[in-house]
A and B are shown apart, each in its own frame.
Chain A
Amino acid sequence: MFDFLTSGQYDVLGAFWVTVQLTLYSAVGSLIWGLMLAGMRVSPVPLMRTFGTTYVNVVRNTPLTLLVLGCSLGLDQTLGITLAGGDSKEIGFRLAILGLIAYTGTFVCEALRSGINTVPVGQAEAARALGLSFFQVLTLIVLPQAFRAVVGPLTNVLIALTKNTTVAATIGVAEAALLMKEMLENEADALFAVFGVFALGFVLLTLPTGLLLGWVAKRVAVKR
C-alpha cells in the first residue's frame, strides 16, 4: 500500500523540504515586513498611518491564491520583476515567498499592534519623559515588551504560514500539495495512504512548532 514511498518515483521528502524552505524564508520576511507595517500604523506621520491601514485592509481581504498568482503573473510576467533572474523554478519559488510575505506581514502587523496595546501607558510616558524620540520609544521600550506578549499569536501566524505555503502550488512551485495532487492522479487506489503521509508530514511540521513556541511564550510572558 505504501510502495509509492519506496518506488523512488516521488520525492516526498524533497517536496516537504521545499515547504520548509518556503516557510522559513517567508517567516523571516513577514516578521520584518510586519514590523515595518506596525511601525507605520503607529507612527506620527499621518500618510504612513493611512498607507499602513489601507495596505492591511486590502491585502488581508484578498485570497492568498489570488495574491500569489498575481505576484507571478503581475510582477514576473508583466512587470518583469524576477528578483535576480534564474530559471522559472527559482523565480516561481522566490515570487511565492514574496506573495506569502505580502500576505502574512499583515497578520504579523496586527498581532504586533495588539501587543503594543498590552504595554502599559506608563512605560511609553516614562520613556517620553526621558526625552526619547518616537523611534527610540518604539524600538527600545515598547516593542521589546510587546514582542514578549505576542509570541503566542505569532506562533499561530507561523503555523498558519506553514500551511499556507501549499498555495504556492498555484504557480507550480514543487512543494507538498502539488506533489500530493500529482500522486493522487497516478495512484488513485492509494488515496488514504497518500493522504495519510501528507497529513502526517504537516502534523510533524506544525505540532512541534506549536508546542515549542507555546512553551517559549509562557516563559517570556511579562507577568503583570
Chain B
Amino acid sequence: MSSVLYDKPGPKAKLRNWIYTGVFAVLVALALWWILDRMAEKNQLEADKWTPFVTDSQVWTTFLLPGLVETLKAGLIAMVIALPLGAAFGIARLSDHAWVRVPVGALVEFFRAIPVLILMIFSSALYVMLGTVSSDLRPLYAVVTGLVLYNASVIAEIVRAGVLSLPRGQTDAAKAIGMRKGQTMMYVLVPQAVTAMLPALVSQLVVILKDTALGGAFLGFADLMSMNRQISANYSNTIATMVTIALIYIAVNFTLTTLASALEKRLRQSKRGTGAVLEGDVAEVDAGGASGVGKAP
C-alpha cells in the first residue's frame, strides 16, 4: 500500500505503524469490551433476547420481511414517480424561456429547502383533511408524497447537472447539423446525460430508502423501522431488535451503494460516450456525501 501522502515505510516507520496499530486496536477493543460488559450487566445480552432472530423464522415472515417489503415498496414507488417529474423539472430549468425557467427554479429550490419530514407530516395531515384516501393506505401515500416532492427537486438538479456536464461540442455539433433546441435535448443531450447520471440516481435511491424510516417513526407506516415496536412487544428486546433492523438496512443500502460505485467505475472506464460521469457527491444533496469512489490519494 503506497500513497502520495507518506513515504514507503522504512524499518522505523514500520515499527511506529505497528505501535499505532497496537494502541488503536487496544482502544477499540476496550470500548467494545466496555459496551458489551455494560450490556451484559443490564441483561441485554441474554440469549432469549437475540435468539428469536435466529431460531424463529416466524419473526422474519410475520414482521421483518413484510416490513422490508413496505420499505422497498415506498422507496421504489417514490423513485418511479419522482424520476420523470424530476427529469421534466430539470429540463425545464435549462429552458431558454424565463417564464418556464424561473418559476420551476423557484419551485425546485423551495422543496429542496424543506426537510422531508416536514413534507411527510404535511402530506399526512392533508390526506386526513381531504378524507379521500383510505386510512389503510394513508401512511404509504403520505410517505411517498413527501419523498416525491423532495426527491423530484433533487433529481431535477441531478438531471440539470448531468446535462451541463456534457461537453459543449455536443450541443454545437447538434446545432451544426440543424437540430432544433428540443431535438438537441431529446436526441443528443438527455440520452447521454442519463448514463452519466445513473450512479447519482442509485445513490439517491439509498437516500430515499433511508428516509422511508421517518414514515415508520412518525406516521404509523408499517415499514421495517416500525416493526421494532411489534417485535419488542413480544420479546421485550428493543436493543436486539434495533440492531437486527439496522443490519437489514445496512445490507440493502450497502448493496445499492456498491452498485452505484461499480456503475460509476464502469462508466468512467468505458471508451464509448463522452466520459462525463456524475459522481454521487455532485448530486446527493440530501446528505452531501460522496459515494466513496475517490481514488486513493
Contact = CB atoms under 8 A, between A and B. Distances in A.
B115 A166 contact: yes
Question: Chain A interface residue count: which class?
Answer: 35 or more
Interface string B165-208: 00000000000000000000000000000000000000000100
A206 B113 contact: yes
A164 B213 CA distance: 13
Contact of B217 (A164, A170, A202): A170
A21 interface: no
A42 B297 CA distance: 7
What DSSP secondary structure best describes chain A's contact surface?
A: helix
Nearest to B122: A195
Given A61-B254, A65-B214, A163-B114, A110 B28 contact: no
A201 B44 CA distance: 42
B292 A110 contact: yes
A66 B281 contact: no
A63 B289 contact: no
Contacts of A222: none
Nearest to B206: A61
Interface residues of B, number: 68
A180 B121 contact: yes
Contacts, number: 202
A199 B254 contact: no
Given A114-B281, A121-B4, A199-B110, A51 B24 contact: yes
Interface in A179-195: 180-181, 184, 188, 191, 195
Interface in A35-54: 42, 44-48, 51
Interface of B: 1, 3-7, 9, 13, 17, 20-21, 24-25, 28, 35, 38-39, 42, 44, 109-110, 113-118, 121-122, 125-126, 128-129, 206, 209-214, 216-218, 225, 238-239, 242, 245-246, 249-250, 253-254, 257, 279, 281, 285-292, 294-297
Given A79-B35, A180-B121, A207-B109, 20 more contacts: A57-B292, A60-B289, A63-B214, A65-B214, A66-B246, A69-B242, A110-B294, A111-B289, A113-B294, A124-B5, A125-B4, A128-B6, A142-B5, A154-B288, A159-B113, A160-B288, A163-B115, A163-B286, A188-B129, A203-B113
